[in-house]
Structure 1
Amino acid sequence: MVDQQLAKTFEGIGEEYDRYRPGFPDAAAADIVPQRLDAVLDLGAGTGKFTELLVSRADRVVAVEPSVAMLDVLRAKLPSVEALAGGAEEIRLPDDAVDAVTVAQAFHWFDRDAACAEIRRVLVPGGALGLLWNHSDPICTWDRACHRVAHPAVSAGADSTTASAADELPGFTFGHRSEIGWTEQITREDYIRRWLTVSSFLAADEATRAAMVAQLNSILDADPATAGRAEFTLPMITEVFVYRAGGSLR
C-alpha cells in the first residue's frame, strides 16, 4: 500500500531534489534501451535525472511527473523533452504511443495494478518496461547505517524500495535483472542535504528531523572512512528490472 502522505512530501521540492539526489549510470539506460527507439516515456520522471540519459536514445522523449516543482526543473534542463503533468495511473498518451517506459526511483509510489494497466496501454506490443533504483552498497557500512536512520524498519542487508518490484507484474513478462556498481564523489554537506530530500525526513517534524540529522553526523564522525573528512567516495548500486509488454493483466 502506497503511503500517500509520504508521497506528497515531494510535491514542494524541485531544485533541492535535483541538486542533491544522485543521478544514474548510463549503463542503466543502455540496459533498458540498448538501441535507438522512436519514442520513450520516463514515468515519475522527477527533475529528469534519468530522463536526460534517454535523450540520445530516442527520437521522442516524454516525461510524466505529478510534482509541478520538479517539472519546472526538468523543463528548464531538458527543453527538447515533452514534459507532462500527471501520474502513472492515468497517462495522457494514446494507446501504443511509446516503444519503452522507464521508471527511475518511483515505482514504489505507484498503485501497482492501475499503473501496470496504463503502462501496458501506452506501450507498443512487446515494448520494454524498465524499473530502476539506486541503492547504497552493502560494503559501505557508514552509508548503510545512515540509510537505517531514514528507514529504521529496514534490515542491514535489505533496501526499502524494491519490495514493490517482483519477477512478475500484471500484463508483463519478466526479462532480466541487473546490478550496476558505480561511485560518486560527494561532500559531507551535500551528503547530509541529500538525506533531507528523502520522504521520511521531509515528513518529520522539526525536532525529529534535527534528531535524525544528529544521528547522521554521529555516524559520519565515528566511521574511519568519513571521520574528519569534508568529501567522501560513495559507492552506489543501481538495480534494474526489465520487462516486456505481454502476459495476463489478471
Structure 2
Amino acid sequence: MADHQQLAKSFESIGEEYDRYRPGFPVAAAEEIVPERVDAVLDLGAGTGKFTELLVARAERVIAVEPSVAMLDVLRTKLPAVEALEGGAEGIPLPDGSMDAVTVAQAFHWFDRDAACAQIRRVLVPGGMLGLLWNHSDPACTWDRACTRVAHPAVTDDTDATTASAAEELPGFTFDHRTELAWSEPITRDAYIRRWLTVSSFLAADEATRASMVGELERILDADPETVGRDEFVLPMVTEVFIYRAGAA
C-alpha cells in the first residue's frame, strides 16, 4: 500500500485527465463559502480549477495556488483571468492579510494540517473565511458506494476517509458551520471508470493491482440492477462543506 506522501505525489503527472473526468462542484458550495462578492479569494490546492471557476464571479481577484505544474497548465488555459501560482499549503506565496477568503476543494486531507492552518491564517484578513469541501458518494447509491470502497477501503456507510481531516476545531480558526449539498450528474460507464483512474490509490498502484481494481469496478457495475447493461447512468453526489472564520492575529 502506498504511503500518504506517495499518494499525494501521484497527482503530479496528470492534468488533462483530471480535468476531463473528475466531477465539478455545485454553485451552491461557492455561495456557501463566499456569500457576497469580495475583493480577493484564494483557491488553495486548486488542481485544474474545478472549484476555482465558481469563484471568478464572486471576487474582484481570484488566485489559485497548486503544486502540480501539469494541473496549473490546464487551469491557466481554462481560466486566463485567474492568477495561478505554483506553491503548496505549507508555504503560500502570498502576503499577510491579503485574502478575504480561502477555499480548499478536495485537497485539505493532503496538507500538513497545522502548518497549512498557520499559512492560511497568515494570508487571511482577521475574520476571513476558510471553506473546506469534498465531493463524496451518496450513501444511498449502492453501486457507487461499493466502487468507492475499492479505491478507499476505509470508507464505510457512515464515514468518508477524506473528510476526516475536517473538524470543529482547527488551529487559529473558529468553526462556523457544516452543510451537505446533494446533486447529480449524468455519466457514461467509460467516463465513470476513467474517473476512478484519476484517484490517488489507482494512480499509485502497480499495473497488476490497478488492473485488478478496475476489474472489481467492472464486476460491481455488471452486477447492480441500476447499472447492468447500461452505457450511461445518473450519478448522485454529495458535496460536504465546512466553514471556518479566522481568529484575530
What TM bracket, shorter-length normalisation? over 0.9
Q: How does 1:100-179 map to 2 (within 5 A)?
A: 100-179=101-180
Q: In the TM superposition, what is the alpha-carbon distance from 1:62 to its structure 2 partner?
A: 0.2
Contact in 2 for aligned 1:170/1:247 (Cα 8 Å) = no
Which moves more between the two structures, 23-32 or 149-158?
Answer: 149-158
5+ unaligned residues in a row in structure 1: which ranges? Answer: none
Q: Hey, what does 1:63 align to over in structure 2? A: 64
Matched, 1:21 2:59: no
Task: Compute the TM-score of the two structures, normalised by the length of structure 1.
Answer: 0.97
- Rounded Cα–Cα distance in structure 1 between residues aligned with 2:161 and 2:177: 21
Q: In the TM superposition, what is the alpha-carbon distance from 1:247 to its structure 2 partner?
A: 6.6
SS of equivalent residue, structure 2 residue 62: strand
Query: C-alpha deviations, 1:8-65, integer Å up to 9, x for none?
Result: 0000000000000000000000000000000000000000000000000000000000
Q: Hey, what does 1:87 align to over in structure 2? A: 88
- Rounded Cα–Cα distance in structure 2 between residues aligned with 1:179 and 1:136: 12
Contact in 2 for aligned 1:172/1:246 (Cα 8 Å) = yes
Contact in 1 for aligned 2:44/2:104 (Cα 8 Å) = yes
5+ unaligned residues in a row in structure 2: which ranges? Answer: none
- Rounded Cα–Cα distance in structure 2 between residues aligned with 1:53 and 1:142: 29
Q: In the TM superposition, what is the alpha-carbon distance from 1:158 to its structure 2 partner?
A: 1.7
Q: In the TM superposition, what is the alpha-carbon distance from 1:160 to its structure 2 partner?
A: 1.5
SS of equivalent residue, structure 2 residue 103: strand
- Rounded Cα–Cα distance in structure 2 between residues aligned with 1:87 and 1:165: 18
Task: Compute the TM-score of the two structures, normalised by the length of structure 2.
Answer: 0.98
- Rounded Cα–Cα distance in structure 1 between residues aligned with 2:223 and 2:138: 19
- Rounded Cα–Cα distance in structure 1 between residues aligned with 2:115 and 2:237: 31
- Rounded Cα–Cα distance in structure 1 between residues aligned with 2:10 and 2:93: 23
SS of equivalent residue, structure 1 residue 161: helix
Matched, 1:11 2:35: no
Which moves more between the two structures, 83-92 or 155-164?
Answer: 155-164
Q: Hey, what does 2:76 align to over in structure 1? A: 75
- Rounded Cα–Cα distance in structure 1 between residues aligned with 2:65 and 2:209: 33
Contact in 2 for aligned 1:42/1:62 (Cα 8 Å) = yes
- Rounded Cα–Cα distance in structure 1 between residues aligned with 2:157 and 2:189: 22
Amino acid at match of 1:186: I
Runs of 4+ off more than 4 Å = none
The alignment covers a number of residue pairs equal to 247
- Rounded Cα–Cα distance in structure 2 between residues aligned with 1:155 and 1:23: 23
Q: In the TM superposition, what is the alpha-carbon distance from 1:154 to its structure 2 partner?
A: 2.2
